[in-house]
Structure formats: structure tokens, C-alpha cells
Amino acid sequence: MATSKAETLDLGKELKNVCPICFESFKTPRYLPCFHTFCHNCLSSFILSTCKSKENPVGFPCPLCRQFVPAPSSLGEPDKWTELIPINTIVQAICEKNDQFCDECRRENEEEVATDWCKSCLESLCRTCVKFHKRNASSRNHELIPISNKGTIPIENESRVFCKDHSAAVKYMCVDHEELCCAECVCTKHRKCNQVDEIEKTAENLIQSGTLKKLGQEILQHNDVLIQAKIESEINMKYFDETSDRILEESSNVRNKLVRHIDALVEAHHNDLAQKVKEQKGRLATFVDTVSDRQLLMAQYSQTLSDTEKTSPPVLVQNYLKIKRQFKQITELGCYKPIVKLHSDASGQLSTILDKCQIDDVKVEAKSTPIWDIDLTSANMKMVCELPESGGIVTGGCFLENGDIVLTVNSSTQCLYYSNEKLLRKIQLRRNPWDVICRKLLMISTNFNDKGHIEQFDLQELKTINTQCITENYCFVYHLAMSSEFLYAACSNCILKLNHEGNTVKKNFS
């Protein structure tokens, strides 16, 4: 596959070398997936201004066509995106070389009128140099076009993916690290990895195993949740407008029955109401914008993942890995839907306004709920099953990746392992456990010798691999939690943030 889409650079137009944002000659031109080109600084400023009002931005619209552009790197870091957007080398070369002389002859201090343009070398060639260019083994396959057609060169999507460390075409994928790598990477950085597959094989497996399709389905489901959250927030905004209008009408009707000296109080009440409406509508609008971007991102991901026939294996795998990482980041970022209500008893208060010095402030009830997690403050719960032999003092537990459950029974020295509601085994420990989480190995919090410890337990070998002390004297560890990068331990007088090696990164005292 050579291209998936192409856009012609029509240099016959008035703005042939001009950035459509600053209307000056291009400076480090960069082009978006829609093939519109902008100066580096112009695009960077546009991205930052567009994302300024978004929470954890996931992309931005093209300044011209408004097509949504997914973040080219880590989500929520728009200041780093521009550097990763590709440079339009064709426009850059055209801007730098405005004359019609042969570049090869000029290097020999000769001036010959150019007849052709080499798309690979990005150089102008005269008739004689064209002849030798075609005869040279290293350049005989270069695409040459007449110099008169230089302004209609299409931008093409590169079908190859290059190694970020060695600038060579990637040919393999390290399954252990989920990284694309070139031949040099395989022999150096990934030489000790257990599984390194050819990129074509990986792409074929992604399609045939249904992994690509599965991620696409998850994205569609996620998109449905975003759509519903957006609809509910828009309804909430409408409710906010209607309720505020009703409150204004009620207070205005009563105000007309009062004497002139209460007008100042009514005006102060309206100002307070308007301020609250503005603040909360701004909050809702920010959430809607954030969800809209994520919805557009999900649509972009779905389109990218479904277009497998026109995508080369390297690009397909690269897209899959990038989308998978970013999709995981999105689901971990957390997104809380603001639910705002408006209350006012202005009409009742205005009836007795002559006895009052001021009207009470407008009351706003606002809370945020996660849009794809369960809101435990309002969720209805029911018992699904009762786990056998779990009658002791259960102080913690976790779900494994396969859905099995491990509980810590602090009244004994055991962890209980359940699968499909059945007790499979009792894991015997040396000390009373408090909590457990799963990160490849079970991480179990225990206390002895007046210090808090974390035991790493191997479920396959059924033995403790390592025990690490993480607290000082008379500080005990009780509960554990983890993110993709860190482990958190709730202790008797502090909360510890630890890295993968178990070293304390940050300590917050209660």
C-alpha cells in the first residue's frame, strides 16, 4: 500500500507558500491527517488555545476543515503534540528553493535550467542530470515529474513505520513490551525478550484472532457511553436554563407587587443567580466539550481499526498499539459527569421582603459522577452470591484478570481463592494478611516486628517470592491500591506512593 489518501498541493493558487493561519511564508510546515499544512508555531498555538478549556484533551480539530485529529502522543499533553506531527517536506523544499535551476549543477557552480523535479531527493534536475539520475542504480527508481507540475505533487501517507531509536523501517514487534522494533532493536534492546514476532505475522494475528475487532467493539461501547453522557449533560443544561427562567419569572412577578425600595435587593438576587448560572453552565459546557472530543476520538479510532484492507501491516499494528495505549489511558483518566441542580425560594422570601435586609443566596447542588464506572452514592445493589467459608474477618480482596477472587482473612493467616463462586484453595501465609492486589504476582500487605510489609506471592508456585518492608517503626500498612505506574499503601499514619520496585516515591501524612 502506497497511500490511503492524497491531497494535491496546488501552487498555482494565491497562497501557494503561505500558512493559512499567519498568512506568511511557511516556517517548518507540518501537515495533519487531512493534509492541511500549517507553520509549526501557528499549529502549536492553535492546539494550545483549543485545548485550554478541555479536561485531559484527547485531540483537536483542523483549523481549516475542522476534522478531528487524535493526539499524536500522550493524552492530556497538548504542548508536546506539534513536535510529533510530520513535516511537509515537499512544501518545505518548495519554500526553500524558489528558482528554476538544477540543484546538482549548482553544486558544481554551474547554472542549468531545471526540467524535472525528483520527489525522492526533493531536488530540481536539468535534462542532462535527469538522464544520469535514471541510470544511477541508487536513484533509478525515483519518481521524476516535470518541473511545471511541481505544484501538484500529492502528499502521501507513508506505508512504512520507522523505528524511533534507529530511523530504520520496523520489521518486528516485541510481544513482551508491546513495542515495534527494527532489526537492530531485536539484537540489542529486545534480545532477552521471550517473544518477538515479524510485523506481518503480528498484523495477521491481530485480524484473524479478532483482537482488532474486539478493541473496536470496546471503543464502540465506550463511545455509546460518551454519547449518552453528552445527551444527559445537554438535557441538564436545558433544565438549568428552564429552571433559572422559572425562578426569574417568579421573583419578577412578586417584585412588581413590592414598593420601590426593594428593587436594589431584587437586583442583587438576580445578579447572584446569573453568576451561579454562568459558573455552572460553564462547567457543564466544559464537560460537554471534553466528552465531544472523546466521542470524536472513539469515532476516529473505530474508523482506523475498521479500515484494515487498505492499511499496511506495519501501520495497522502501529495504529493498534497506539490506539490501545491511548484507549487504556482514557479509561484510566476518569471522567466525572457534572449533575447540577438549581434551587431558589425567592418568591416566598420576596413576599416578606419588607422585614428582610437581604435575599438568601441561590443554592446550587452540584456533584460529579463517573460516566463509565459505578456511582456508589446512588447505585442499587443486590447480592449475587455468597462465598463459602468467608465468615472470618475479611479485610481486603481483589479480582484477578480471569475474574477469580482472592480474599484476605485477617483473623487467620490465609487468603481464600475463589473461582465461579467456589472455593478452590486456601493460601497459607506466614502472617495475618490485611489486603491484596494483583500485579502479575499477588501483593499482600502484612505487619510484623512493628513495621508494615508487602509480600509478593506466586499463585502458580504457591509460595512467597519476596517480602519487603515499606514503613518505619510503629507504622503499619493496611490497604493497597494500584495504578498503571504506582502502588499505593494506606498506613496507620500516612499514605505511601511506591514505584514498581517498591521504593517510596511520595509520602503523605494524615
Identify the pLDDT of residue 273.
87
410-422: average pLDDT? 90
Identify the pLDDT of residue 46.
94
Would you say the C-alpha torsion 327, 331, 334, 336 has a positive or negative sign?
positive
397-416: average pLDDT? 90
* Lowest mean per-residue pLDDT among 88-102, 145-159, 200-214, 402-416: 145-159
Q: Are residues 182 and 110 in the same domain?
A: no
Q: Are residues 247 and 366 in the same domain?
A: yes
Boundary-marking domain end, from 156, 186, 218 = 156
Q: What is the mean pLDDT of the chain?
A: 83
Residue 260 in this model has a pLDDT that exceeds 80: no
Q: Are residues 252 and 321 in the same domain?
A: yes
Identify the pLDDT of residue 416.
93
Q: Is residue 429 part of a domain?
A: yes
Q: Are residues 187 and 328 in the same domain?
A: no
Identify the pLDDT of residue 156.
57
pLDDT digit string, tens, across residues 62-120: 999 999 998 887 777 888 888 888 888 778 877 777 668 888 898 888 888 888 888 87
469 φ/ψ angles, rounded to the nearest 5 degrees: -80, 130
Q: Is residue 378 part of a domain?
A: no
pLDDT digit string, tens, across residues 91-106: 887 777 766 888 889 8
- In the chain, how long is the greatest CA-to-CA distance? 101
Identify the pLDDT of residue 192.
85
The domain in which residue 445 lies consists of 394-509
Q: Are residues 96 and 190 in the same domain?
A: no
128 φ/ψ angles, rounded to the nearest 5 degrees: -65, -45
447-451: average pLDDT? 86
Going from the C-alpha of 222 to that of each of 68, 72, 227, the distances in angstroms are: 18, 20, 9
Q: Are residues 13 and 135 in the same domain?
A: yes
395-411: average pLDDT? 90
Q: Are residues 17 and 77 in the same domain?
A: yes
State how many domains the chain has.
4
Identify the pLDDT of residue 151.
61
What residues are paired with 180 via a beta bridge?
A: 173
The answer to whether the beta carbons of residues 33 and 76 sit under 8 Å apart is no
25-45: average pLDDT? 90
31 vs 485, higher pLDDT: 31
Q: Is residue 298 part of a domain?
A: yes
pLDDT digit string, tens, across residues 301-357: 888 888 888 888 888 888 888 888 888 888 887 778 888 888 888 777 767 766 766
Q: Are residues 321 and 403 in the same domain?
A: no
Of these ranges, 154-163, 291-300, 369-378, the one predicted with the greatest mean pLDDT is: 291-300
Closest CA to 459 of 424, 422, 427, 413: 427
Q: Is residue 219 part of a domain?
A: no
Give CA–CA dist 287/283, Å, rounded: 6
Identify the pLDDT of residue 5.
42
Identify the pLDDT of residue 1.
28
Q: Are residues 19 and 143 in the same domain?
A: yes
Residue 259 in this model has a pLDDT that exceeds 70: no
Residue 451 in this model has a pLDDT that exceeds 70: yes
> Sorting pLDDT into bands at 50, 70 and 90, what band is 4?
very low
User: Which 3 state secondary structure label does DSSP give 59?
Assistant: strand
Give CA–CA dist 74/154, Å, rounded: 29
Q: Are residues 123 and 178 in the same domain?
A: no
Chain position carrying cell 491531497: 7
The answer to whether the beta carbons of residues 36 and 16 sit under 8 Å apart is no
All cell numbers assigned to 418: 475463589
Identify the pLDDT of residue 11.
38
All cell numbers assigned to 386: 455468597
Q: Are residues 360 and 259 in the same domain?
A: yes
Identify the pLDDT of residue 2.
33
> Sorting pLDDT into bands at 50, 70 and 90, what band is 386?
confident
436 φ/ψ angles, rounded to the nearest 5 degrees: -150, 140
Chain position carrying cell 482488532: 212
Q: Are residues 129 and 13 in the same domain?
A: yes
pLDDT digit string, tens, across residues 425-435: 998 888 889 99
> Sorting pLDDT into bands at 50, 70 and 90, what band is 12?
very low
369 vs 206, higher pLDDT: 206
Percent of the chain exceeding pLDDT 90 equals 13
Q: Is residue 246 part of a domain?
A: yes
Q: Is residue 388 part of a domain?
A: no
Q: CATH number of the domain that 90 lies in? A: 3.30.40.10
Q: Is residue 461 part of a domain?
A: yes
Q: What is the DSSP letter of 5?
A: -
Residue 258 in this model has a pLDDT that exceeds 80: no
Identify the pLDDT of residue 157.
52
393-406: average pLDDT? 89
What residues are paired with 117 via a beta bridge?
A: 124, 145
Chain position carrying cell 446569573: 274
